[in-house]
């Protein structure tokens, strides 16, 4: 048991994982979340085996298995649905832990329930938005009650900003940073109950840099149907309004661009037609920063490394941040040194992923196929060599810390 108190601003995937992790390590933690009654918002998200390992060590392995779909395969296809590259994922790829595709809101609520059970409801304070902080012997933090407008104050030994892409903590550390960087692409996203496609455990990405779809099941439903997450992504010329995870878009807009994307293994227009709500989100990230930790204050998850959603990384990396920050706090009694170590360990690889994702990550193989065979192909080997494909896919996996041996053989970050 460490005599340390931590305030976590933000009860998303990263902040809640941190709360569970600190509690497991015997460190006192209070979570402040701006939303009063968190609802299961969002659509699909992917948890890579490296993050599933951490959540399993936090005692959530069974809950994840009940909620998500263990993804077994990733197919990269061209815009006609022809297979460019297939790879095994999760347990099938030799990891000791599965990869889960899961509803982001269901995951958040699953984590929130566990946090409330373990650290006590009184330590999860919702409806309070961080507005500022000051560092002295301890960190004094100010919040505003979003309903009453009244101010609330608290203090602790450490403040962690896990408050997402619009992080108020980051804004105070980098006041001149401005808005996220828009990559001139829109994402249209939905989750819909439908017949499973392929083997029911495959994630498929089809298309090329300027227009593509990402589709995968995220849950089972009654009557043998699956909850299927789809994302249509397209280059656009207009500047979108500020990003909002809950902004809806008309079906007709999506069908106008993707209405012809009907493959032998997937009827995308039918999925679009059946979707009750379709959300629009601009493809954004932020430039890497030179430091996350400043004295007793640090950043985690999207607040630290907001990245384009390529390669299913953002949620998984937030969970790894949580575990490595916990480990750093356990290793020394000097909080500032611990936060510096966490920063030095995590920031360089995360900044690298931000840059790699801007270059299409492992999906670069699809762009090669589009450039070399825009009308499709009889045999993919005539278009891209196996060596080229392996190079593109394997180099991303290594950079993201996802190669099988690294995940399976490394010692636990926190468990003794």
Ligand X SMILES: Cc1cc2nc3c(=O)[nH]c(=O)nc-3n(C[C@H](O)[C@H](O)[C@H](O)COP(=O)(O)OP(=O)(O)OC[C@H]3O[C@@H](n4cnc5c(N)ncnc54)[C@H](O)[C@@H]3O)c2cc1C
Q: Which residues bind ligand X (CB under 6 A)?
A: 9-15, 32-35, 41-45, 104, 129-130, 162-164, 168, 245, 301-303, 309, 314-315, 318
Q: How far is the CB of 315 from ligand X (least distance, A)?
A: 4
**Residue whose CB is less far from ligand X, 18 or 25:** 18
**Residue whose CB is less far from ligand X, 285 or 370:** 285
Token representation of residue 330:
């356990």
Which CA distances in Å does 287 have to 133, 172, 306, 355, 390? Answer: 24, 16, 8, 8, 28
**Residue whose CB is less far from ligand X, 215 or 303:** 303
**Residue whose CB is less far from ligand X, 7 or 366:** 7
Q: How far is the CB of 388 from ligand X (least distance, A)?
A: 28
For 219-222, the CB contacts below 8 A with 24+ separation are 219/67, 219/68, 219/69, 219/102, 219/103, 219/106, 220/69, 221/193
Q: How far is the CB of 166 from ligand X (least distance, A)?
A: 6
Evaluate the CA torsion angle 174, 175, 177, 178 in order and state its sign: positive
Q: How far is the CB of 162 from ligand X (least distance, A)?
A: 5
Q: How far is the CB of 333 from ligand X (least distance, A)?
A: 27
Q: How many CB atoms lie within 10 A of CB 336?
A: 16
**Residue whose CB is less far from ligand X, 71 or 82:** 71
Q: How far is the CB of 387 from ligand X (least distance, A)?
A: 31
Distance (Å, whole) CA 185 – CA 183: 6
CB 132, CB 172: distance < 8 Å: yes
**Residue whose CB is less far from ligand X, 164 or 180:** 164
**Residue whose CB is less far from ligand X, 303 or 407:** 303
Q: How far is the CB of 291 from ligand X (least distance, A)?
A: 18
Burial readout 254-269 (b: 16 or more C-beta within 10 A, e: otherwise): bbebbeebebeebbbb
**Residue whose CB is less far from ligand X, 81 or 217:** 217
**Residue whose CB is less far from ligand X, 11 or 219:** 11
Q: How far is the CB of 118 from ligand X (least distance, A)?
A: 18
Which helix or strand (DSSP H or E) is residue 270 part of?
A: helix 268-274
Q: How far is the CB of 399 from ligand X (least distance, A)?
A: 18
Which CA distances in Å does 406 have to 49, 133, 250, 317? Answer: 11, 38, 44, 15
**Residue whose CB is less far from ligand X, 154 or 370:** 154
Phi and psi at 265, nearest 5°, equal -105, -5
Residue nearest to ligand X (CB): 12
In angstroms, how far is CA 415 from the centroid of its own chain?
24
Strand pairing category for 28-33 and 5-9: parallel
Distance (Å, whole) CA 24 – CA 35: 25
Torsion angle of the four alpha carbons 260, 261, 266, 270, in this order, in degrees rounded to the nearest 10: -50
Q: What is the DSSP letter of 304?
A: T
CB 369, CB 384: distance < 8 Å: yes
Distance (Å, whole) CA 335 – CA 132: 20
Q: How far is the CB of 314 from ligand X (least distance, A)?
A: 3
């Amino acid at each position: 048991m460490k005599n340390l108190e931590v305030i976590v601003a933000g009860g998303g995937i990263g902040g809640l994982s941190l709360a569970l992790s600190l509690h497991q390590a015997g460190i006192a933690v209070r979570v402040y979340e701006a939303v009063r009654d968190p609802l299961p918002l969002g659509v699909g998200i992917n948890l890579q085996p490296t993050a599933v390992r951490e959540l399993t060590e936090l005692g959530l392995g069974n809950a994840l298995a009940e909620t998500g779909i263990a993804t077994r395969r990733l197919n990269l296809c061209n815009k006609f649905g022809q297979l460019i590259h297939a790879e095994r994922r999760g347990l099938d790829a030799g990891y000791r832990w599965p990869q889960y595709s899961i509803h982001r809101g269901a995951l958040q609520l699953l984590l929130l329930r566990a946090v409330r059970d373990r650290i006590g409801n009184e330590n999860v304070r919702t409806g309070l938005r961080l507005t500022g902080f000051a560092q002295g012997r301890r960190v004094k933090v100010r919040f505003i009650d979003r309903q009453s407008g009244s101010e609330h104050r608290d203090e602790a030994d450490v403040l962690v900003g896990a408050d997402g892409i619009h992080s108020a903590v980051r804004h105070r550390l980098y006041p001149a940073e401005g808005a996220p960087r828009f990559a001139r692409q829109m994402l249209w996203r939905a989750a819909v109950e439908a017949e499973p496609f392929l083997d029911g455990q495959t994630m498929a990405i089809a298309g090329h840099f300027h227009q593509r779809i990402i589709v995968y099941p995220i849950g089972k439903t009654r009557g043998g149907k699956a909850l299927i997450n789809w994302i249509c992504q397209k280059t656009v010329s207009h500047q979108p309004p500020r990003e909002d995870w809950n902004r809806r878009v008309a079906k007709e807009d999506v069908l106008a661009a993707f209405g012809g994307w009907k493959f032998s293994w997937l009827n995308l227009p039918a999925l679009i037609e059946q979707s009750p709500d379709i959300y629009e989100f601009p493809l954004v990230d932020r430039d890497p920063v030179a430091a996350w930790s400043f004295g007793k204050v640090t950043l985690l998850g999207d607040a630290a490394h907001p990245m384009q959603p390529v390669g299913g990384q953002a949620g998984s990396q937030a969970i790894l941040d949580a575990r490595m920050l916990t480990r750093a706090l356990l290793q020394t009694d000097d909080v500032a040194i611990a936060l510096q170590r966490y920063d030095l360990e995590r920031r360089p690889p995360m900044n690298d992923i931000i840059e790699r994702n801007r270059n299409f990550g492992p999906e670069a193989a699809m762009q090669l196929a589009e450039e070399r065979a825009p009308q499709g192909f009889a045999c993919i080997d005539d278009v891209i060599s196996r060596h080229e494909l392996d190079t593109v896919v394997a180099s991303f996996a290594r950079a993201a810390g996802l190669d099988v041996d690294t995940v399976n053989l490394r010692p636990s970050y926190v468990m003794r």
